Structure 1
Amino acid sequence: MARKIGSRYTAHQVLGRGSAGTVWLGEGPDGPVAIKLLREDLASDQEVVGRFVQERTALLSLDHPNIVGIRDLVVDGDDLALVMDLVRGCDLRSRLDRDRRLAPRAAVSIAADVADALAAAHAAGIVHRDVKPENVLLDTEAPPGPGGAPPALLTDFGIARLVDSPRRTRVTRIIGTPDYLAPEIIEGLPPRASVDIYALATVLYELLAGFAPFGGGHPGAVLRRHVTEAVTPLPGIPDELWAVLAQCLAKAPASRLTAGELAARLREQLPLLVGMPPLDVDAPGSPGDEDDEEDAEDRADEDGGPAEGAGGAGPSRRGGAVPLVRGSAPDSSRDTHTSIKLPSAEELAGHRRPAGSPAGDRRSPHRRTGAEELRRRRIRIGTAAAAALLAAGLGGWAHLAGGDDSASTSREDRDPEDTAPDGTDGAEGGGAGAPGGLPAGIPTAPTAGAASPQGGTGTAPLPRWSSFREAPDPAVRLAGGPRAVALGRTTFVFARGEDGNVWYLTRTGGRYGTWHRLTGISTEGDPAVVSSRAGQLDVFALGTDGLLYRRTLSAGEWGVWSQVDGRTAFDAAPAAASSAPGRIDLVGRTGGDLVTASLVDGRWNAWAVVPTAGRITAAPGLVSRADGTLDAFVVRRADGAVLHLPHANGAWRPSQRAGTLEAAGRPEAAAAGGVVHLLAPAAGGTGLVQAAAEGAGPWGAPGRVAARTADAPALVAADGFLEAWIRTADGGLARAAADR
Structure 2
Amino acid sequence: MARKIGSRYTAHQVLGRGSAGTVWLGDGPEGPVAIKLLREDLASDQDLVGRFVQERTALLSLDHPHIVGIRDLVVDGSDLALVMDLVRGTDLRSRLERERRLAPEAAVAIAADVADGLAAAHAAGVVHRDVKPENVLLDSAAPTGPGGAPPALLTDFGIARLVDTPRRTRATRIIGTPDYLAPEIIEGLPPRASVDIYALATVLYELLAGFTPFGGGHPGAVLRRHVTEAVTPLPGLPAELDRILSACLAKAPASRLTAAELGANLRDLLPRLAGLPALDVAGPGEHDDEGGYGEADLEPPLAPPAPAPATPPGGDRKRGAVPLVRAAAPDSSRDTHTSIKLPTAEELAGFGAASRGAGRSRASAPGRPASPRHRSVSDAIRQRRIRFAAAAAAALAVAGLGGWGIASAGSSGSGTGSGGDSRGDTPPTTDPATTTPAAGTPAAPTAASADAPQSRTGRPVALPQWSAFQGVPAAGVPLTGGPRALVLDGATYVFARGQDKNVWYVVRDASGYGRWHKLTGINVDDDPAVVSARQGRIDLFALGTDGLLYRRTMTAAGGSAGAGGSGGSAGHWNAWSQVDERTHFDAAPAAASSEPGRIDLVGRVGGDLVTASLVGDRWNAWAVVPTAGRITAAPALVSRARGSLDAFVVRKADGAVLQLPYSGGAWRPACVIEGLDATSRPDAVAAGGRLYAFASGGQAAASQDADWSAAPLPGTDADRALGAVAASPHTLEIFTRTPGGTLSRATASV
Q: TM-score, normalised by structure 2?
A: 0.48
Larger proportion of helix: 1
Structure 1 or 2, whichever has the larger Rg, is 1
